[in-house]
Structure 1
């Protein structure tokens, strides 16, 4: 094994993996130790193994993995269980490192004729089929990691939209903007918008769309489309650019009023089908 992935280690921990423990709830990260050659190791499933070996196994989509960590309060060992996805948060460096490792592991090999052969087979129970210019397989764990990342970006986008709206109301001499902004998405994910802002007789129903890159396009559900169309001039889409390394730098880059009005400049394109049985 090599001494790769050392950049993921900070203060003898994998700080880009954060886990909420059982009560009393604390945030922990996997602990890292070193061998005689100063190669970083982790305690994984009752064995101490090189960090590079863990990263390879994780990138391959191995199931039921766990790592050891220490509780900040008392220094006692606790377990980070990767199956408990709702408790995990992954940092950008870890996500990028896993993606790079998967690209390396499953890169097409060249045969004697110079043609790329198929990547190593992955169990059909752990894959999902996606289409781009060509179909590729991703593991269930990779899909879940991607969804977790999307949720994090969405949350950071909503935080940025809230700050933006707070500043806007403050500029209108609103005495206490926090009392006039409601984050609907925290209680009702099916409302068709994320935030409602009401002040001085004016209401904004705000749907937040967030991305870490330039936003030339975004997805909108049928429910969001119908809801925003119904409220018309009171409907807004806030486009947010998210900075995951410095979340407070995330910001609203554009407000779109009455977004379902053809004059807003938004062009809707159908990208999915709803299938119904005929009998």
Structure 2
């Protein structure tokens, strides 16, 4: 059989009747003839046309009405491209309330170092941090540069928190000058105990994975890396408070695992944290993370 388009096809017909709507129709499916028509995807039979011809009861006039519907199909593929697959997923920056989590968050190692590139898409600024963490030693370190020129100047600084003694050491990496102070409440690496004392955050708390319920939303690419993504809605941003806004947090972890140096334990590496403030449209923070689970000297 040859259609008006010139394509050689094979046809199948069926007759259908529906009591509710009183319609009768002949359905004809046309598939390409693999012996006489070679498709771009290879020697395969693909849907080309569906024809619906029949009559149905017109509820306005009470009489039968004829119809003839033709559905032509083009660009058929017996698979889904990555772009099509992504269209079934929840888009970035969207949180669905009461979503069911189908995959647990990865476990964070007990010690690690990480470098972060912080991009504020609203203010058009880029910052960076270099952080060290060891829950066993009860130590953390945070390298940064205060571009505003605060109490400790504008040189690159190294801030070490010793939770064994409760002392914070701030060191100018250029001059070597050192200052000491108590570890401040609501700092990046601690949690309040009783209003006057603090403790080191657990590995999960360090990434704020404990403050809200995360739901797995599938896989996305970040910096060319296939990542598993979890999303949640938080009311603890921006730090240190007390004025917080509703924000959507999206954590990207590598889909495959890595092995820590000197250990047989496998872990998924956090690649990116995306924070979207829902009050101010477009105020989005992209935190790109490069993490090593190595026990470097603090």
Q: Shorter-chain-normalised TM-score: which range? A: under 0.3
What's the TM-score, normalizing by structure 2? 0.19
Higher alpha-carbon Rg: 2
Structure with the greater relative contact order (CA < 8 A, sep ≥ 6): 1 or 2? 2
Quick check: which one's helix share is greater?
1
What's the TM-score, normalizing by structure 1? 0.20
